[in-house]
Amino acid sequence: MSHMKLIDRHNRIAKYLRIGVTDRCNLRCRYCMPEEGIDFAHRNDILSYEEIIRISKLFSKLGVEKVRLTGGEPFVRKDIDILLSSLSTLFDKVHITTNATLLSGYIDLLKNINVSGLNISIDSLDRDRFFMITRRDSFDVVMNNILKCIELKIPVKLNMVVMKGVNDMEVIDFVKFGLHHNVEVRFIEAMPFNDDDGNRDVYMSAAEISQLIATTFPSLHKLIADGSSSDKYTIHGRPIVGIIPAYSRSLCGSCDRIRLTPQGEFLTCLYAQSGTNLLTMVRDVNVSDTDIQQAIMDSVLQKKKSGFEEEALINKNAFRSMTTIGG
Ligand code: SAM
Ligand code: SF4
């Protein structure tokens, strides 16, 4: 048991590490990446599994209890089962965020490591619209995998990025899907990821999303904040809806999240544009685990009070693609 904690200057304790294992993906969601992809990192420039494990052990010592694998699409990285198995021995909770296209080969593994949460991103329940948003014809495989996970009682949540005029007409269908299958559905505000990606035109705020749901489900009731990244709501007393104010950033005050990018950058905020480079540290024979631990603690002390303060440090109003940060 670790007694060390990663505390920042605003008394928040970082307990939840999101690990981006790759910036590559087999989908091309419009709000996340252009058709041609981004300038993907070269193999040698991303952390190896050994390096991720070494760094993860330090985070575990520093009090991190929960990790989430994300990306890019985590399951496109080769031998991801090896990493998942190791991480499950280091942390109480291992979660994964995935587009679910490649899940079918990993269901046994997810059961074996007793995965504590699988967040599946799906932005439409309609095949054609799914194709329009992701630019790939993967609706059937994704839906089959979702249903299989639900059937096998793997703890699943669905993530939908809500875009006005694109898929907001499906918000109610998603809530109904959640009620029917008894899974939480989380609605995410679309974040702009660069200057001209168009996400600003389709942006729908958390407040607008909850109003929209309440018109069909007047019993929608907001629960007291529990420190997580979403506001949670019940419908008919059931905890079915989450809304993630990714852009309006109303939950920064209780943020317990830190991030490790595929390229080994340690970020203390989704809105941070740069962080501490742990890749160069783990590859330098003169750098010890104690040095890395110190660098992590120093970074956490620099964590700003909110995502707005981080954003203010950026020169232009442009964000990196979520595929390089992991969302
Ligand atoms: N490929 C996996 C997936 O899609 O679940 C994991 C990585 S993806 C970057 C993580 C989450 O970020 C997904 O739920 C995705 O919908 C969300 N995301 C990506 N770009 C976003 C944006 N511009 N605004 C809001 N959410 C975004
Ligand atoms: Fe891939 Fe996830 Fe980005 Fe979609 S949101 S392109 S699935 S990384």
Tell me the pLDDT of the chain averaged across its residues: 94
- The residue-averaged pLDDT of 306-326 equals 80
Q: Provide the phi-psi class of 293: left if phi over 0, else alpha when psi is between -120 and 50, else beta.
A: alpha
3-state DSSP assignment of residue 63: coil
Strands in the chain per DSSP E: 16-20, 66-70, 93-98, 117-121, 156-162, 184-189, 221-222, 231-235, 238-244, 257-260, 265-267, 276-277
- The residue-averaged pLDDT of 204-224 equals 97
- CA trace torsion 191, 196, 200, 201 (10° rounding): -140
Task: Please report which confidence band the pLDDT of residue 192 belongs to, taking 50, 70 and 90 as the band edges.
Answer: confident
Query: Which atom of ligand 2 is found nearest the CA of 26?
Result: 1
Residue type, 286: N
Note whether 136 and 25 are within 8 A (CB): no
Q: Name which residue leads in pLDDT, 195 or 101.
A: 101
Percent of the chain with pLDDT over 70: 97
Pocket test for ligand 1, best of 98, 120, 257, 322 (most atoms within 8 A of CB): 322
Measured between alpha carbons, how far is 189 from 8 in angstroms, rounded to an integer? 26
Task: Please report which confidence band the pLDDT of residue 326 belongs to, taking 50, 70 and 90 as the band edges.
Answer: confident
pLDDT at position 3: 72
Task: Please report which confidence band the pLDDT of residue 315 belongs to, taking 50, 70 and 90 as the band edges.
Answer: low
pLDDT at position 212: 98
Query: How many angstroms is it from 323 CA to the middle of ligand 2?
Result: 6
Please report the domains of the chain, with CATH numbers, ordered by start residue. 16-325 (3.20.20.70)
- Note the ligand closest to the C-alpha atom of 121: 1
- Note the ligand closest to the C-alpha atom of 28: 2
Query: How many angstroms is it from 322 CA to the middle of ligand 2?
Result: 8
The Cα-based distances of 277 to 282, 310, 314 in angstroms read: 9, 18, 18
Which is it for strands 238-244 and 231-235: parallel, antiparallel or unpaired?
antiparallel
Task: Please report which confidence band the pLDDT of residue 316 belongs to, taking 50, 70 and 90 as the band edges.
Answer: low
Task: Please report which confidence band the pLDDT of residue 317 belongs to, taking 50, 70 and 90 as the band edges.
Answer: low
Query: How many angstroms is it from 326 CA to the middle of ligand 1?
Result: 7
Query: Which atom of ligand 1 is found nearest the CA of 70?
Result: 6
pLDDT digits (tens, 9 = 90+) for 51-99: 999 999 999 999 999 999 999 999 999 999 999 999 999 999 999 999 9
- The residue-averaged pLDDT of 183-211 equals 89
Does 294 have pLDDT greater than 60? yes
For residue 73 and ligand 2, the question of a CB distance below 6 A is answered with yes
Task: Please report which confidence band the pLDDT of residue 227 belongs to, taking 50, 70 and 90 as the band edges.
Answer: confident
Six-digit token string for 254: 């209780």
For residue 262 and ligand 1, the question of a CB distance below 6 A is answered with no
- Note the ligand closest to the C-alpha atom of 198: 1
